[in-house]
């Protein structure tokens, strides 16, 4: 049995957790060390059981709590080389911390087998495909403007997929953001909208996946209700009943989401 959750997920901060038994991996740490430790405590997970921290990219909503956390708990950190170099230049990675660049590689981290794959964003960015010690497989891809062939290949054949549903297109274009920011978000190097997320989920269901977590929802340009409605409508039109045939969960912005077993 393996478990997935997010300690928090949204434009204001992201941290995901993949667990098998008591051992777990963290993906990103975009809120304070205190917030992250409090979330781990609520799950009764000591830091000593964490095998490592995977970093998707350098933006603050993914790494803002990392420096303080690593000063207290110097766990090994993994990510693409450009991201690790940038974090090192900023002083985010203390000298005592082991850091490993795994661009496009598959590596063993504790009992987990982790594959790093590139995603299309406006800075070097990656997603992760993770096989747990019991053989379950999940993948996480957030902060991507378009689903490339490499991304789709790494999402395929999983037991669970955590995928970005960042914005509703109508809310974004009719909302308060300045024009340049709207263009950036909607570009191929920005974020994934609800419709693109829903279309990919439909493809993945047909490939055999039955469990999905909707991640990185924008507070301004989306809501859990909008994201879920968009996905549900696409699935219902294809004759798939959410809640019966598949599990779709929108992750909580400021608190730990319910575990998904996979």
pLDDT digits (tens, 9 = 90+) for 197-238: 999 999 999 999 999 999 999 999 999 999 999 999 999 999
Query: How far is the C-alpha of 193 from the C-alpha of 173, rounded, in Å?
Result: 12
Q: Residue 208 gets which letter from DSSP? A: T
Q: Is the dihedral of CA 230, 243, 113, 72 positive or negative?
A: positive
CA-closest candidate to residue 252, choices 3, 4, 9: 9
Which domain does 74 fall in, by range?
2-261
* CA–centroid distance for 200 within its chain: 16
Number of domains in the chain: 1
CATH number at residue 108: 3.60.15.10
The CA distance from 18 to 41, in Å, is 15
The residue whose two tokens read 């974090």 is 87
Question: Which pair of tokens denotes residue 61?
Answer: 């909503």
Does residue 61 contact residue 13 with C-beta atoms inside 8 Å? yes
Phi, psi of 206 (to 5 degrees): -65, -20
Q: What's the pTM value of the predicted model, to 2 decimals? A: 0.97
pLDDT digits (tens, 9 = 90+) for 154-208: 999 999 999 999 999 999 999 999 999 999 999 999 999 999 999 999 999 999 9
């Amino acid at each position: 049995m393996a478990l997935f959750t997010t300690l928090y997920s949204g434009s204001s901060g992201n941290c995901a957790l993949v667990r098998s038994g008591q051992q777990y991996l963290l993906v990103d740490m975009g809120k304070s060390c205190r917030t992250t430790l409090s979330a781990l405590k609520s799950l009764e997970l000591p830091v000593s059981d964490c095998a490592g921290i995977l970093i998707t990219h350098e933006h603050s909503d993914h790494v803002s709590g990392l420096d303080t956390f690593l000063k207290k708990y110097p766990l090994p950190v993994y990510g693409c080389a450009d991201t690790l170099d940038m974090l090192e230049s900023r002083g985010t990675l203390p000298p005592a911390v082991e850091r490993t660049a795994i661009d496009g590689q598959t590596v063993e981290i504790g009992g987990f087998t982790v594959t790093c794959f590139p995603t299309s964003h406006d800075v070097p960015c990656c997603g992760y495909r993770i096989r747990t010690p019991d053989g379950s497989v999940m993948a996480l891809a957030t902060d991507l403007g378009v689903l490339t062939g490499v991304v789709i290949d790494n999402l395929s054949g999983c037991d669970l997929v955590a995928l970005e549903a960042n914005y509703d297109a109508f809310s974004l274009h009719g909302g308060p953001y300045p024009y340049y920011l709207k263009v950036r978000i909607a570009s191929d190097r920005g974020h994934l909208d609800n419709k693109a997320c829903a279309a990919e989920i439909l493809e993945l269901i047909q490939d055999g996946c039955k469990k999905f977590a909707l991640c990185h929802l924008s507070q301004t340009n989306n809501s859990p209700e909008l994201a879920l409605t968009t996905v549900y409508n696409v699935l219902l039109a294809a004759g798939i009943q959410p809640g019966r045939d598949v599990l779709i969960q929108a992750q909580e912005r400021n608190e730990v989401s319910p575990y998904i077993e996979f």
